[in-house]
Structure 1
């Protein structure tokens, strides 16, 4: 099959370029396409060269230079090439003279050797971000899916980065493509996306131009209709045309919102740019706020709910739980109405399930576990209905995995540890099946990492120390290839931070102190990187604070007082700032309370008994004292224990025994204990003289593999 792009002797052109001055960039773009796609290439070529750039944009400075008046000329290889003696040299010179490369992507194009060579050549001559993909047919990256390789529409040089010599590397590229298919952007929106890429402006800038153009046209039509109102037939025709214009305008605006909440969000989330996402969500909501909600179509209602959910996620990430809940509930009302209209539509079930989950997530963050359980059970019912409606849809199966994991978290919070471990084991197995089906799906890999983390936590709480260690080690091995990339996903770095810290604590209890402290240091390093990346991300700050505080605990227990003090200062400084921002966040309050205990212990280690006792009493008082109703049933008993530990360290033996007895009296008798709680109770029993009872607990812990305790008293 004859191809339109021929580079038979690219290597010969290098010496000739060295003898000549580089050509002036006289082309806006070089259009690369397969012979089978010539009809679409001709349409796109003509449409781009006739495209009118809005006057208000002309001359504005962008990353690609000043915005030009026109997008012409576009170099179309077969159309423009003369009968040159060296065809490859002429193509390369045309590329050097072009600001952008536009690749028309289809299964035929993906198999074209010459199109692939053109992409590599252009990347060698210019920046990779000057390559624009336009999808005509097929599926991007289908070659990664077993059995669908024939649908691939991206040539290899588009799917992978190239080095400076134009050679393909193994590093994956993720080109942002315009999609001319009816199932994608459609011809018109695809043309706008391509033009926006060439001009270096936002898609909404061009969409606004289209909206203004149509508005002017409608004004003219309306005026003509009034002037010719005697011509009834003409008036009716104009009204129909105006209706169609309005419908087209809404469709295009909805397409813009879909792009903002879809492709653009996918690009911005991994780098943690909450400020940009906030602006995206605000613009989306502003569009819908200017319209009558009762007039919104079903699709528009769904888009509005997505915009509200995005704004809720951003608010939650910044610690504004009430603001997040307000938006989530408004989205919930919209998705509930959509499901009422179409009760058997799995997509409407899916949309409503997302709203249900987010409302439940806020309840979980505020410590309202029972309310979260109600929401998550509703979420699972919706997921089960989706799977029943279409059992072969992997998206619905994924939702069922999410729902099961959420219920496992509730079981963990309710101290039903063995049940939680079984639930998470099932989630791991289900997620492994999804990964095996689509090994290139990054979302599945992230989900598997989370499932392994949850399983490890549940096993650790249930006393299964070695399996818990094995799951965390497996999680870190799973994350390692992705973290090794030059620009790794920030979300994966957060998961690695948590995994390193959790494994550090497990290894410490196993008695492997040196390796434990090494893992803890790696965890806090990742946390500091995340906070530096986006200082406004309260979620990252909270998790980093907790990581620093946990590392400080291990350092103090291991006798590294100076390092522990530095880690306390960093972690507790972050925790104090977060609690001041929003005291309703249960996890932040817990970290701040832990900080008081650590500061008391640090003061005792530095022989400042008075300060240690004052901090311990402050920590006890923060819980409300005797008779308080705490979320954690062990919270008050552990506060009593802290007072006793400080008394022991400062030489007050009688006071220590009294406080420990008070702690044992307040110890919940029928609430399941984790091994860490068992170890702390054993210490107090030994300290108050009940050594035989303490020995039984210690023997049980040793049989489970526990060698030491993470507690406030090293030895009594």
Structure 2
């Protein structure tokens, strides 16, 4: 036998495996295995005991040259025979039913580290690393660490093709390797001689959707002209413009040509649409045309369409008409960051393939690849930094091919390598290039919400100084040149530069508002031009128009000529609108004065006064009816404030009894809408006054005219709003009383008007309200019943009015409440299913054209609900993405309408929950910044109306979480202050407010742990015992993670681990994997307390 000094061997149970020689040996036995057997055995040995699917093995060891999974089963059977293993009682390789295979033997490598393969493969084409560039199909031999993702994505492609819509959208965080996975993992597998599982591609093409240099449909046409199956083009380049027209207007021609050119072949054509997040910054009409073409191609049976997108742009992408349906009928794949084992393969295996090695630290005896692995695993988006660092190490390697510690430390480690080199390059630019650098950033950077992406820029669009700078940056490989639609272009080498180069990141933060404004102006100008330059597409009054005025005068680089003309006409139109609005306001004021004067002098001019009053009431109908509805969709209730104030003065002191029913209804409706405006702006007392006045008038009306169905509707709405105010103040008994009154009024109306959809719609709202209060007071059965009734009634309305898109938003609201009940029952996966349906309902409600603020708000709520549900299930990357999407939209809405308190409240809640997620993933400093943002918003809300219990509770929870973050950092003084603030904010919580009592117990628990660490045993015991007493009886019969999580914590802190164990098991069975809880359990198991 060979010496154990041989670095290419490893032990597999009691066997020693030498892949280079294809042998396994033990004691006096020595067997030579076939190449495929040794490949599979070596791969399985490096998986760290994880379950490996047959698809994963096929992708890694057969590279796509197979049909079906029989080769895997046969090979594993032969391996077991060689190892003398038994499938029924495995000692080496176990079969996991319906999942794959798992190594159960102990595996140890010669250097004590795991590897996915230890055999060397030849790579003689220079560096095996790609720096900031994506891996291409020609790099597949050094593309490691993504076998699982490759297998899963191939399976998704195969499934979507079989289902008749061959489209798959690959979504993931920026820098997770989406483009590399497709180009170096998927494309080679599908282009292979046998393809994947019988699905083969004969030709492929791609284009980047990120800010194409010509109309999107022409970019797509140019990509299709690069299809050359068997060396013969499907479309020749000279017919590109004709093809673009056909893609827009004659898709039958396009499909016929594809079928004719691929006749008699079973293989497919592949098109990859990279960086689809770029679609959100392009003219909607161009995007819609391109999506229609891609949809038809994917359903043709001849073409596979793959798209990639950053998941922080996923909600905006799904709002694009047609794309949601295409993804639904096709498929999607969520690519996460590599696991530590996969990251190890990414670092080590290309190095071995190229005959390189890693240095050993002479002081600490650590290997450089271990240090790189540890650093990479600390960051969710480390892949670009890692590849850049490995490439930089390769460029200064020793003569013997060693990547050295000295070079790594000189470049500032993984985090500093990119920033340090980029800054050195910037400093080396001459004065002319440095002056042009900020102008280049304006052209290269695009902002959408909180997201930042790179743009592709044409050379002909930049001046001489900018061209001079670009050439130097391309030579330094910070920019890359490319050809798009036969146009020379350039773009950033990787978007990681936007995040990890401090100079650029700071510049983006400083200029974010201008970048966002420029993007919106460009998009709106393009749409205005495409829609025939109609006035309704000009920029409306507001912050954007003010920004447009400034940018048209001061921007560097300037807005283009078309955009400047668009801004000029928008400003002119806004001036006309202001004059018109001023005239309307003056007319309203005059009419109000005339109406009041006429009422005082009614005896002298009764007919004249009645006519004037009718005019005023008609105007009020318009202002508080149609205009209110439109402004409600925008959230701009502030514009009606002065009008409603004057309307209340006009109607004050009116003799309701003597009025006709129509007049009473009109005035009651006006008061109700006034109350809604007051409530939305934080004036609850003013709202109650308006609601009570309206209800008094309607009570007289119903008594005298019991057949007035609209009066029941109005009284029901008034009962809803009174209940909503009580709910916000934590008065749940009063809430239930008002909402039962709401149900009674809605039921009466539905009986009187069974054929009117609005009657059933109002009845559905009443049941939804009762479900929500039942859920809040821990009555899950009643809540489920009420939500089911509400949902069925809303579907009934949709059946009566299929075009009522707003009803989809109401149905989405019920789905979110149903999800909350399932969460309370511990059915977290079922809850997630409801929330996915909620998002689909929200998208179904999207009207054509620009989304309204109401729709944007509802979409943001859906994102927030999904984020918390996914965080509870441990889906951290997706939760982060959903939280970012929600926060971006809420922040945009609050900027647009700064006095809408509901939107401010939900932005604060999102920031607070973002902090809780950051705390759970170990970033207490980031958590504290999020909590500070949330706290500032909530303090401002309470300054407006301190009686809103909901706001106080949110602030109390935020302070509790803030206290926990300080505690983790060891800052006991601010931790104690925050915990005491939280307890003070909670105050005496009523027994009916179950959820608030649980939250207060968490604050007590935190205060107790702080006191314990400060050595104050008496105070600690008081707080901890009070929390335990509160939570113990609630946990006994509960399946709600919101109760079980804090109970397991308090029981553990008090040393009752045995008592906590069954409740921990309930959480495990529910799939509960909230990061903060997982961290607590993990540290507890290690004997440490959080």
Alignment-derived partner of residue 643 in structure 1? 1007
Contact 2:1008/2:1022 (<8 A) preserved: yes
CA distance in 1, matches of 2:1021, 2:761: 53
Which one of 617, 629, 635 corresponds to residue 266 of structure 1? 629
Q: Distance in 2 between matches of 1:297 and 1:664?
A: 62
User: After the TM superposition, which of the residue ranges 368-377 and 458-467 deviates more from structure 2?
Assistant: 458-467
Aligned to 1:452: 815
Q: C-alpha displacement at 1:651, in angstroms?
A: 9.0
Partner Cα separation in structure 1 for residue 863 and residue 529 of structure 2? 36
2:616 is matched with: 253
- Residues 362 and 387 (structure 1), Cα distance of their counterparts in 2 relative to 1, 3 Å cut: same
Cα 1:649/1:217, change in 2 over 3 Å: closer
* Equivalent-residue separation in structure 1 for 2:588 and 2:642 (angstroms): 17
Correspondence for 1:606 among 969, 976, 979? 969
Residue aligned with 1:714, SS: helix
Residues 253-294 of structure 1, C-alpha deviations (whole Å, 9 max, x = no match)? 322221111111122222222221212322332332375545
Q: 1:619, 1:664 → 2: CA distance? A: 18
Provide the C-alpha distance between the structure 2 equivalents of 1:714 and 1:472, rounded to a whole number of angstroms.
Answer: 27
Quote the residue 1:432 is aligned against.
795
TM-score by length of structure 1 reads 0.64
Compared CA separation, residues 532 and 712, structure 1 to 2 (3 A): farther
Deviation at 1:647, TM superposition (A): 5.2
Measured in 2, the distance between the counterparts of 1:627 and 1:290 equals 39
1:390 corresponds in structure 2 to 753
- When Rg is computed on C-alpha atoms for both structures, the one with the higher figure is 2
Residue 645 of structure 1 contacts residue 713 of structure 1 at CA under 8 Å; is this kept in 2?
A: no
Counterparts of 1:658 and 1:597 in 2: how far apart (Å)?
A: 17
**Which among 920, 925, 932 is matched to residue 562 of structure 1?**
925
What pairs up with 1:341-352 in 2 under 5 angstroms?
A: 341-352=704-715
- Paired with 2:985 and 2:527, the residues of 1 have a C-alpha distance of 58
Structure 2 CA distance, aligned partners of 1:690 and 1:216? Answer: 77
How has the CA–CA distance of structure 1 residues 493 and 215 changed in structure 2, closer, same or farther, with 3 Å as cutoff?
closer
Structure 1 equivalent of residue 724 of structure 2: 361
Q: Does 1:690 align with 2:1056?
A: yes
Residue in 1 that maps onto 2:110 = none
TM-score by length of 2: 0.43
CA distance in 1, matches of 2:993, 2:662: 45
Q: Distance between the aligned counterparts of 1:168 and 1:426, measured in 2?
A: 48
Check conservation: 2:598, 2:609, Cα contact below 8 A.
no
- Verify the 8 A CA contact 2:824 2:1041 in the aligned structure 1: yes
Preserved contact between residue 531 and residue 541 of structure 1 (Cα < 8 Å): yes
**Within the alignment, does 1:338 sit opposite 2:704 as a pair?**
no
In 1, the alpha carbon distance for the partners of 2:914 and 2:689 equals 36
Contact map agreement 1:312 1:327 (CA 8 A) in 2: yes
Distance 2:859 2:531 in 1: 34
Deviation at 1:369, TM superposition (A): 0.8
Question: What does residue range 178-257 of structure 1 map to in structure 2 within 5 Å?
Answer: 200=580, 244-257=607-620
Matching residue of 1:708: 1074
Moved more, 472-481 or 266-275: 472-481
Aligned to 2:1027: 663
Deviations along 1:332-384, one digit per CA (max 9) or x if unpaired, are 11111111111122112112212222222211111111111111111111111
Alignment of 1:142-161 (within 5 A): none
Asked if residue 403 in structure 1 is aligned to residue 740 in structure 2, the reply is no
Matched residue, 1:676: 1042
Is residue 463–residue 704 contact of structure 1 (8 Å, CA) maintained in 2? yes
Displacement, 1:549?
0.8
Deviation at 1:657, TM superposition (A): 7.1
Is 2:857 the partner of 1:491?
A: no
What is the alpha-carbon root mean square deviation over aligned residues?
Answer: 3.8
Matched, 1:316 2:679: yes
1:484, distance to aligned residue in structure 2 (A)? 9.0
Alpha carbons 1:509, 1:710 under 8 Å: kept: no
Q: Which aligned pairs between 1:39-50 and structure 2 lie closer than 5 A? A: none
Output the CA distance in 2 between the equivalents of 1:198 and 1:434: 40
Q: Is the 8 A contact 1:428 1:451 kept in 2?
A: yes
For structure 1, which runs of at least 5 residues remain unmatched after alignment? 1-160, 174-195, 223-238
1:342–1:348 contact (8 Å) kept in structure 2: no
In the TM superposition, residue 442 of structure 1 has moved relative to its aligned partner by 3.2
The CA deviation string for residues 626-677 of structure 1, in whole angstroms up to 9 with x for no partner, is: 9999773334432321123445777999986774344212336258642221
Q: Which residue of structure 1 lines up, in the alignment, with residue 874 of structure 2?
A: 511
- Provide the aligned length of Structure 1 versus Structure 2: 512
Question: CA–CA distance in 1 between the matches of 2:620 and 2:863?
Answer: 39
Q: 1:485 to 1:214 in 2, by over 3 A?
A: closer
Give me the whole-angstrom Cα distance separating, in 2, the residues matched to 1:217 and 1:696. Answer: 76
Does structure 2 conserve the Cα–Cα contact (< 8 Å) formed by 1:424 and 1:455?
A: yes
Distance 1:393 1:596, change over 3 A: same
Instruction: Supply the distance in 2 between the matched residues of 1:712 and 1:642 (Cα, whole angstroms).
Output: 17
Aligned to 2:841: 478
Q: Give, in whole Å, the separation in 2 of the partners of 1:541 and 1:589.
A: 14
The gaps in structure 2 that reach 5 residues or longer are 1-525, 539-575, 1085-1090
The separation in 2 between residues aligned to 1:659 and 1:624, in whole angstroms, is: 14
